[in-house]
Structure 1
Amino acid sequence: MALRSLLTTAERGQVLEIPTGTEDLAAHYTLSEADMSLIRQRRSDANRLCFAIQLCLLRHPGIALTDDTEVPTEMIDWVAARLDIPAEAWD
């Protein structure tokens, strides 16, 4: 018996892709004060930014940050601006 996919490739992309539009970033990745408190506990800008990106990705699209995860620069810039951290800390 052949397995059928529930989602088409386009639908899967809509659900699992990391958003890059400003409205989508705001809708999915707005950090609460509790989130900001957790993020501030990290020692360096790089650790704070990486922790925040990981937190965002776990919430949507529900993936863990790994070595091969392609994080769009739009997302990095958007989250870094919210944390008042230079986006270059991601490097």
Structure 2
Amino acid sequence: MNTIARGRELFTQEQRSSFMEIPEDECSIGSYYTLSNYDIKIINKRRRPENKIGFAIQLAVLRYPGWPYTHIDNIPSAVIEYISK
């Protein structure tokens, strides 16, 4: 009888880290971090400019790679610049 040991890791630490990485190439940034008109409408409900960009980054990163920004070590400046345009 084959049993799987409890607590066995499915991925190595390196594999898990790669799932949490934000792409830095221009094509991926455009694909994953383009905001829709609806997104922009929601973002514009925030009062101050610094809240708008922060909310937009949180929304984008939560969508891809699917983690809250607090779980991500580094958000590339290219992504921040792209979202802030």
TM-score by length of 1: 0.72
Per-residue deviation, residues 6-61 of structure 1 (Å, max 9, x unmatched)? 4672x544432111111101111111111000011111111000000000011001
Where does the alignment leave 5 or more consecutive residues of structure 1 unmatched?
82-91
State the structure with more CA Rg. 2
Judged with a 3 Å threshold, the aligned counterparts in structure 2 of structure 1 residues 58 and 15 are, in CA distance, closer, same or farther, namely: same
Does 1:72 pair with 2:76?
yes
AA at the equivalent of 1:52: A
Number of aligned positions between the proteins: 80
Equivalent residue number for residue 34 of structure 2 = 30
Q: Aligned-residue CA RMSD in angstroms?
A: 2.4
Equivalent residue number for residue 61 of structure 1 = 65
AA at the equivalent of 2:48: S
Equivalent residue number for residue 48 of structure 1 = 52
Does 1:21 pair with 2:25?
yes
